[in-house]
Structure 1
Amino acid sequence: MPAQAWVTLIVGLVAAIGVIVTMTQKQRADNRREWWTRFEWALEATHSTNRDPRRDRWRVIANLAESRLMTATERSLVSELIGGITTEAVNADDLGVPSENSSEED
């Protein structure tokens, strides 16, 4: 095989690797953007006055908080925003949501 053919092959392989890396980075960025959109939605929905959807949104937040898509900065921010809510707290229904037996009158 002549030298020109080898050069063409190498350039083609480098270009293919570049395309694969670019596509992988774009997919990860898109997934992270979607993660943040879901987190914002769930966080806003925790202000619902209806108990069941509110509890469900906290579960979504707890699930999202375990995602590998978060960076260290986002993990710190999420930790501060949700005040240390854990899966155990979600399962125990200890979410600061008034129970059905409690009254809201003070």
Structure 2
Amino acid sequence: MKDLWGPMSTAVVGIFALVGVGLTVWQKDRTDRRDQWWKRAQWSLDLARSQQKTDQVVGFSALVALASSRYAGRDEQDMLSAVAEATLLSVTDASDADFVVKAKS
């Protein structure tokens, strides 16, 4: 029995090390994906604020998709909603509102 402690302890340490490496890789992947989500959100927000109607439609469509992403936390969803609401409130005539309908569909 005494001879088993050496190999068993090595195996246990190896398992813990493997789990640690796995968690580190998972965390790095999640961080990278959230960073990429934010870059896409910035791009979409810039388009949504554009003076070009086509850019606005693309921007709002992308924001809708980003809001439903699993990488968008509650804070990010709240921020996207606030920006969309503020932008939509600035629409002053019915012809400008067409892009809103297109972005929602």
TM-score (norm 1): 0.75
Superposition deviation, residue 73 in structure 1? 1.7
Count matched residues.
92
| Closer, same or farther: CA 2–73 of 1 in aligned 2, 3 Å | same
Correspondence for 2:16: 14
Correspondence for 1:3: 5
| In 1, Cα distance between equivalents of 2:99 and 2:26 | 34
More helix by share: 2
Structure 1 gap ranges (5+) = 96-106
- The letter for the 1-side match of 2:102 is D
| In 2, Cα distance between equivalents of 1:94 and 1:35 | 19
Correspondence for 2:102: 93
| In 2, Cα distance between equivalents of 1:50 and 1:57 | 11
Runs of 4 or more consecutive aligned structure 1 residues displaced over 6 Å after TM superposition: none
Q: Give the SS at the match of 1:61.
A: helix
Question: What percent identity do the matched residue pairs reach?
Answer: 26
- The letter for the 2-side match of 1:93 is K
**Contact 1:59 1:90 (C-alpha < 8 Å) held by counterparts:** no
Superposition deviation, residue 90 in structure 1? 6.9
Superposition deviation, residue 4 in structure 1? 0.6
Structure 2 gap ranges (5+) = 89-97
